[in-house]
Amino acid sequence: MEGKFFESQTPSSRTKAQIVAKYFPQYCKIILKKPQKEIRYLDLFAGPGKYEDGHLSTPLLIADQCVQKMHYYLKKLDFY
């Protein structure tokens, strides 16, 4: 199973990724109400970032959402 994990995204993994990707930019808006040096998102289980079937994993979906809403993010965002 381990070698095939990133072949295709499961429906539950897709749902989780969509929820987190929509939540994180909203969370950043709240956090940025007070001055911040930086905001970081660490995903210790991100894998390659993209499934073999073409679906993006959570960190890339978050990055995409943040770029789409860049006018809210004037601070440095780091993704690991």
For residues 57 and 47, give the distance between their C-alpha atoms in angstroms, rounded to a whole number.
Answer: 8
| Residue 62 in this model has a pLDDT that exceeds 80 | yes
| Residue 78 in this model has a pLDDT that exceeds 80 | no
Q: Give the global pTM.
A: 0.66
Where do the domains of the chain lie?
A: 2-79
Closest CA to 43 of 26, 29, 63: 63
Q: Residue 71's pLDDT band (boundaries 50, 70, 90)?
A: low
Phi and psi dihedrals of 17, rounded to 5?
-60, -40
